[in-house]
């Protein structure tokens, strides 16, 4: 049996500069073969899959993967869900390290990514903050020799152009190898929106027609250095720099049919931000006679300076107020991790390791409000700072009991200490610690003859958790500029939040056949304690949403995945059915985190060996429906259907022309929020248009 577990492969390939013989095993095996052999289960998306459809964002790549859905209104940052759960339930890693708060997978170009690893079950060597699972984004590595790539393309969405230029250069000088990737791109999206509010007690009907334009300019740089002298220690350094400028403009015009108008029936807004993100790591590996020792120092800095201008007007479009806001978070993190690994008698692969880190986050918000006569009516200057200290220890063993049966056992201890203070709220001091035992096993049904199907079974048990984010703990108020109501409340943190704890069980049957064919049926169940839900009330005179621990929840589901090829055709499909209920919320539809009940993806690729043309496409579906959030609040989201097509033409041995059509169905996005108690009700319906994107790109390599 192959001695490379999915978790071990991630650490080795992400930053440990592992030995050349292990690298050769990984390169010679297909992703399907790696998945079949590994005791711990993982889905690996390699360079071929990342580049196949010419996707502009990682969200477009992930939406076609089993068990993953992408949520988000048009023009807004995408939310990644695993098994229907997002909002912090899925752990996002960059080179094996936790990504910063608010990190968006849309912000990294696929051209700078080596592979993506999707782990549904927990493992001891990676963070247990992964109730739904883990997605690890591994930055690009260079080939063994000298190579260069250049790509230039442009996309059009609703008549607006979005150009992209990307390049990569790799080389080697003796024991030193290097890779540097650069991307410059622009996103320009125009989103019309329609909002209708209908209420009773008092009666209300009003409509708001709006439009928002989102312009995002981005520069990315990803250098990598690796020093691997024969027979000596190896060193690797990987960095990633991203500079952005976001310029968003919006307008709203209200038509009142029944009742009273909002505070500002007509408004315009302008938001400008300059986010800056830098990640860097250095890893060291020493080979020993009976194993190896690795250590890694990594850190990131994530800052954003933003300004926001809101101009409100009355129904006659006479200026009646202005809000000026300057804000920005600054977040930095440094961590030191390492491990010792050794093999015993060829049957056991033992590993033990540690991680220690410190995260600092500060945020300021200065606001001024003016009335119709331009007199200052409000001036605030709020800020806070927070420190999160974390430590973790783990030990694990992967044991080949027989040639057909392997077992993985591990345990991880994580401790968090969060300290925070600010000039507008009470201090925060929160400690938490979690033991996370993990067990996974793989049993092969028999020794199949060459060319015959191969069956195997998997079972995984584990404990994971979800700690509250810093912004959820800080009791600082985030205000809306207009129309505060129970469906559009202000936000405030809660320093008394506790982590959510979960026990999980996963089981799967897999059949492998042919070169890369496979069928998998898997099921899962989770019991989550102390789930966090927003509680909305107007006890302070304004409508406020505050997160609170709200009892327990149960989540379970079943997933089907298939992949097979026939001549020049390659087909893939996955379907998932999810169920969940929150004990403290009355049914029906009391699903956790608005979990979609049904998701499905179907893809087909055509690539004849002797032809220069390759083509294909994919269709994805995510169900919508009603969801109950509390006794007084509920919502509705429309179903989502997406159709993407692509074609690639090999112009010469080193050049390729790629065409893609994204979101050809361009369905409107509709979401409703309802508040209803004994004396009043309010229904808010938002409808946003989406548009197809047409993209063309030229690629050249040498």
Q: Examine residue 205 and state whether it is found in any structural domain, yes or no.
A: yes
Confidence of residue 23 (pLDDT cuts 50, 70, 90): very low
User: Phi-psi region for residue 593, left (φ > 0), alpha (ψ -120 to 50) or beta?
Assistant: left
pLDDT score of 19 more than 60: no
Q: What is the pLDDT of residue 6?
A: 36
Residue linked to tokens 């996707």:
55
pLDDT score of 370 more than 60: yes
Q: How many Å apart are CA 415 and CA 390, to the nearest integer? A: 6
CB-based contact 277:301 (threshold 8 Å): yes
Q: How many Å apart are CA 453 and CA 246, to the nearest integer? A: 52
Q: How far is CA 683 from CA 62, 117, 545, 569, in A?
A: 33, 41, 17, 48
Q: How many Å apart are CA 665 and CA 468, to the nearest integer? A: 37
Q: How many Å apart are CA 384 and CA 583, to the nearest integer? A: 35
**Closest Cα partner for 351 from 411, 297, 404?**
411
**Closest Cα partner for 188 from 249, 123, 270?**
249
pLDDT score of 35 more than 90: no
Pairing of strands 490-492, 544-549: parallel
Instruction: Indicate the burial class of 322 (C-beta count within 10 angstroms; 0-12, 13-18, 19 or more).
Output: middle
Q: What is the pLDDT of residue 95?
A: 87
Name beta bridge partners: 566.
569
**Closest Cα partner for 186 from 220, 154, 163?**
163
pLDDT score of 22 more than 60: no
Average pLDDT over residues 93-108: 80
Pairing of strands 234-258, 266-288: antiparallel
**Closest Cα partner for 262 from 481, 553, 578?**
481
Measured in whole angstroms, the distance separating CA 219 from the mean position of its chain's CA atoms is 20
Helix, strand, coil shares of the chain as percentages rounded to 5? 5, 65, 30
Q: How many Å apart are CA 527 and CA 207, to the nearest integer? A: 42
Q: Examine residue 579 and state whether it is found in any structural domain, yes or no.
A: yes
Measured in whole angstroms, the distance separating CA 619 from the mean position of its chain's CA atoms is 20
Q: How many Å apart are CA 111 and CA 59, to the nearest integer? A: 13
CA angle 212/216/217 to nearest 5° reads 155
pLDDT score of 59 more than 90: no
Q: Which has more pLDDT, 434 or 146?
A: 434
For the segment 535-560, what is each residue's pLDDT rounded down to a tens digit?
999 988 899 999 999 999 999 999 99
Q: Examine residue 456 and state whether it is found in any structural domain, yes or no.
A: yes
Return the percentage of the chain with pLDDT > 70, whole number. 95
Confidence of residue 142 (pLDDT cuts 50, 70, 90): low
At residue 612, the 3 state secondary structure works out as: coil
Q: How far is CA 429 from CA 48, 167, 360, 493, 496, in A?
A: 47, 46, 14, 14, 9
Confidence of residue 49 (pLDDT cuts 50, 70, 90): confident
Q: Examine residue 1 and state whether it is found in any structural domain, yes or no.
A: no
Number of domains in the chain: 1
Q: What is the pLDDT of residue 353?
A: 97
CATH code of 652's domain: 2.40.170.20
657: which DSSP letter?
E
Q: Examine residue 654 and state whether it is found in any structural domain, yes or no.
A: yes
pLDDT score of 140 more than 70: yes
Neighbours of 511 (CB within 10 A): 16
At residue 256, the 3 state secondary structure works out as: strand
Q: Examine residue 284 and state whether it is found in any structural domain, yes or no.
A: yes
For the segment 409-468, what is each residue's pLDDT rounded down to a tens digit?
999 999 999 999 998 778 899 999 999 999 999 999 977 677 788 999 999 999 999 999
pLDDT score of 519 more than 50: yes
Average pLDDT over residues 152-157: 95
Q: What is the pLDDT of residue 147?
A: 87
Q: What is the pLDDT of residue 143?
A: 63
Q: How many Å apart are CA 483 and CA 258, to the nearest integer? A: 16
Torsion sign over Cα 533, 539, 542, 543: positive
Confidence of residue 11 (pLDDT cuts 50, 70, 90): very low
Average pLDDT over residues 602-612: 88
For the segment 647-685, what is each residue's pLDDT rounded down to a tens digit?
999 999 889 999 999 999 999 999 999 999 999 999 999
472 φ, ψ (degrees, to nearest 5): -75, -25
113 φ, ψ (degrees, to nearest 5): -110, 135
pLDDT score of 3 more than 80: no
pLDDT score of 568 more than 80: yes
Return the percentage of the chain with pLDDT > 90, whole number. 72
Confidence of residue 104 (pLDDT cuts 50, 70, 90): confident
Q: Give the 3-state DSSP-derived string for 630-651, with helices as H, strands as E and coil as C.
A: CCCEEEEECCEEEEEEEEEEEE
Q: What is the pLDDT of residue 487?
A: 93
**Residues in CB range of 450: below 8 A, 6 or more apart:** none
Half-sphere exposure of 690 (CA within 13 A, CB side): 20
Confidence of residue 493 (pLDDT cuts 50, 70, 90): very high
Average pLDDT over residues 10-38: 50
For the segment 386-401, what is each residue's pLDDT rounded down to a tens digit?
999 999 999 999 999 9
Q: Examine residue 59 and state whether it is found in any structural domain, yes or no.
A: yes
Question: 25 is written with which tokens?
Answer: 């095993």
pLDDT score of 328 more than 80: yes
Q: What is the pLDDT of residue 71?
A: 84
Q: Examine residue 272 and state whether it is found in any structural domain, yes or no.
A: yes
**Residues in CB range of 422: below 8 A, 6 or more apart:** 382, 383, 384, 385, 474, 476
Neighbours of 423 (CB within 10 A): 11
The rounded radius of gyration (Å) of the Cα atoms in the chain is 26
Q: How many Å apart are CA 64 and CA 661, to the nearest integer? A: 15
Torsion sign over Cα 26, 31, 34, 35: positive
77: which DSSP letter?
P
**Average pLDDT score, the chain:** 90
User: Phi-psi region for residue 347, left (φ > 0), alpha (ψ -120 to 50) or beta?
Assistant: alpha
**Residues in CB range of 189: below 8 A, 6 or more apart:** 74, 75, 157, 158, 160, 213, 214
For the segment 221-240, what is each residue's pLDDT rounded down to a tens digit?
999 999 988 877 999 999 99
Average pLDDT over residues 371-388: 94
Q: What is the pLDDT of residue 29?
A: 59
Neighbours of 602 (CB within 10 A): 17
E strands, 47-102, are 68-71, 79-82, 90-94, 97-98
Q: How many Å apart are CA 357 and CA 334, to the nearest integer? A: 6
Q: What is the pLDDT of residue 174?
A: 86
Average pLDDT over residues 573-581: 96
Pairing of strands 655-662, 625-628: unpaired
Q: How many Å apart are CA 557 and CA 497, to the nearest integer? A: 28
Confidence of residue 145 (pLDDT cuts 50, 70, 90): low
For the segment 503-517, what is each residue's pLDDT rounded down to a tens digit?
999 999 999 998 889
Name beta bridge partners: 324.
309, 368
pLDDT score of 278 more than 50: yes
Q: What is the pLDDT of residue 27?
A: 40
Segments forming the whole domain that contains residue 71: 6-701
Residue linked to tokens 């997160």:
547
175: which DSSP letter?
T
Pairing of strands 669-676, 376-402: unpaired
Average pLDDT over residues 10-34: 45
Give the lowest-confidence range in 96-110, 223-237, 343-357, 686-700.
96-110
Question: 213 is written with which tokens?
Answer: 């334009």
Give the lowest-confidence range in 97-111, 237-251, 396-410, 458-472.
97-111
Q: What is the pLDDT of residue 543?
A: 94
Q: How many Å apart are CA 106 and CA 463, to the nearest integer? A: 29
């Amino acid at each position: 049996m192959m001695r490379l577990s999915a978790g071990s492969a991630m650490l080795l390939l992400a930053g440990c500069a592992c030995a050349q013989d292990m690298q050769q095993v990984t390169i010679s095996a297909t992703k399907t073969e790696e998945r079949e052999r590994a005791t711990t289960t993982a889905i690996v998306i390699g360079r071929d899959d990342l580049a196949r459809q010419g996707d502009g964002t990682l969200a477009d790549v992930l939406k076609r993967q089993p068990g993953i859905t992408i949520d988000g209104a048009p023009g807004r940052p995408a939310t990644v869900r695993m098994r229907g759960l997002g909002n912090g339930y899925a752990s996002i890693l960059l080179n094996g390290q936790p990504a910063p708060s608010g990190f968006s997978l849309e912000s990294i170009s696929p051209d700078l990514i080596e592979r993506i690893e999707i782990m549904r079950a927990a493992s001891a060597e990676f963070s247990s903050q992964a109730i739904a699972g883990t997605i690890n984004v591994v930055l690009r590595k260079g080939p063994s020799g000298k190579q260069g790539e250049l790509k230039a393309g442009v996309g059009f969405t609703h008549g607006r152009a979005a150009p992209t230029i990307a390049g990569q250069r790799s080389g080697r000088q003796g024991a030193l190898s290097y890779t540097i990737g650069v991307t410059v791109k622009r996103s320009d999206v125009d989103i019309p929106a329609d909002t209708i509010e209908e209420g009773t007690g008092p009666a209300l009907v009003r409509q708001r027609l709006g439009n928002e334009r989102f312009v995002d300019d981005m520069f990315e740089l990803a250098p990598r250095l690796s020093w691997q002298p024969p027979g000596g220690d190896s060193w690797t350094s990987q960095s990633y720099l991203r500079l952005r400028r976001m310029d968003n403009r919006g307008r709203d015009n209200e038509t009142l049919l029944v009742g009273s108008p909002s505070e500002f029936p007509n408004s315009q807004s302008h938001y400008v931000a300059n986010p800056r993100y830098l990640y860097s790591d250095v890893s060291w590996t020493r080979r020993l006679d009976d194993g190896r020792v690795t250590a890694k120092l990594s850190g990131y800095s994530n800052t954003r300076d933003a300004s926001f201008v809101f101009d409100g007007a009355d129904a006659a479009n006479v200026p009646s107020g202005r809000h000026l806001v300057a804000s920005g978070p600054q977040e930095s993190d440094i961590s030191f991790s390492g491990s010792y690994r050794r093999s015993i008698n060829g049957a056991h692969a033992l590993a033990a390791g540690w991680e220690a880190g410190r995260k600092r986050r500060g945020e300021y918000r200065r606001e001024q409000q003016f009335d119709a006569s331009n007199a200052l009516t409000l001036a605030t200057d709020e800020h806070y700072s927070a420190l999160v200290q974390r430590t973790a220890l783990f030990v694990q063993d992967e044991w080949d009991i027989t040639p057909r049966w392997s077992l993985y056992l591990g345990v991880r201890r994580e401790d968090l200490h969060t300290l925070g203070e600010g000039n507008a709220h009470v201090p925060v001091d929160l400690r938490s610690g979690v033991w996370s035992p993990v067990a996974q096993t793989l049993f092969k049904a028999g020794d199949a003859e060459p060319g015959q199907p191969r069956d195997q079974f998997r079972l995984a048990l584990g404990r994971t958790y979800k700690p509250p984010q810093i912004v959820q703990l800080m009791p600082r108020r985030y205000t809306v500029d207009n129309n505060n109501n129970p469906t559009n409340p202000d936000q405030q943190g809660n320093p008394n939040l506790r982590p959510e704890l979960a026990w999980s069980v996963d089981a799967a049957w897999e059949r492998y056949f042919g070169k890369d064919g496979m069928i998998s049926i898997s099921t899962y169940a989770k019991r989550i304690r102390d789930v966090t839900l927003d509680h909305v009330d107007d006890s302070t005179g304004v409508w406020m949403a505050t997160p609170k621990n709200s009892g327990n929840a149960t989540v379970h589901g079943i997933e089907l995945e298939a992949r097979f090829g026939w001549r020049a055709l390659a087909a893939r499909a996955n379907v998932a059915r999810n169920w969940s209920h929150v004990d403290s919320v009355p049914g029906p539809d009391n699903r956790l985190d608005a979990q979609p009940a049904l998701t499905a993806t179907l893809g087909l690729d055509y690539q004849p060996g002797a032809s220069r043309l390759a083509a294909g496409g994919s269709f994805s579906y995510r169900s919508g429906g009603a969801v109950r959030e509390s006794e007084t609040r509920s919502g509705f989201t429309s179903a989502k259907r997406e159709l993407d097509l692509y074609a690639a033409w090999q112009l010469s041995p080193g050049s390729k022309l790629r065409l893609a059509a994204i979101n050809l169905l361009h369905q409107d996005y509709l979401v409703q929020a309802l508040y209803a108690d004994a004396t009043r009700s309010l229904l808010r319906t938002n409808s946003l248009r989406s548009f197809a994107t047409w993209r063309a790109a030229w690629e050249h390599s040498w």
